Amino acid sequence: MNFLIDHNLRGHAVILLGSLTASGWLDLISIRFVLFEEVELPIDSNDRVVWRFAQANQMILLTANRSMKGKNSLEQVMREENTPTSLPVVTIGNIDRLLAEPDYRERCVNCLVDIVVDIEDFRGAMRIFIP
């Protein structure tokens, strides 16, 4: 499963990927983190563009702070465009704890793995907060 990493989570993604690797999960399941620049998505893209791109390319958007207000806010886009087959947006609840607390980071990793393994159960869920 490909995760589109929100532009402000670049460093956090490196740490998450390291934890996924160290725990052996990447030997068992396919998880790939994709950065905006890899897919030529401008970092100033609005939430509607980012969500549509992720859906069109079968990627789960991994974010921490996408907007909740306005016509192009992530929340509004999901309300308008989400379908039963849409992939969820995964939002890290506390990015500071992700960096500072190994237990919190491990719980985030386990949540990501659960989502990937059971992705069909999460389609249409709009947003999932982890851990």
pLDDT of residue 55: 98
Query: Element (H or E) spanning 45, and its range?
Result: none
- State the pLDDT at residue 67: 63
Give me the chain's average pLDDT, please: 95
Q: How confident is the model at residue 65 (pLDDT cuts 50, 70, 90)?
A: confident
Give the pLDDT mean for 60-72.
85
Give the residue-averaged pLDDT of 48-69.
Answer: 91
In degrees rounded to 5, what are phi and psi of residue 37? -65, -25
Tell me what the mean pLDDT of segment 79-107 comes to.
Answer: 96
Q: Are 60 and 1 in contact (CB under 8 A)?
A: yes
The pLDDT > 70 percentage for the chain reads 99
Number of domains in the chain: 1
Residue range of the domain that includes 71: 2-130
Average pLDDT over every residue of 91-120: 97
CATH classification of the domain holding 90: 3.40.50
Is the predicted pLDDT of residue 68 greater than 90, yes or no? no
Max Cα distance, the chain (Å)? 41
Q: What is the mean pLDDT of residues 25-34?
A: 97
Separation CA 105–CA 40 (nearest Å): 28
Helix (H, G, I), strand (E, B) or coil at 65: coil
Reply yes or no on whether the pLDDT at 42 is more than 90: yes
Structure tokens at 33: 């983190």
pLDDT at 69: 75
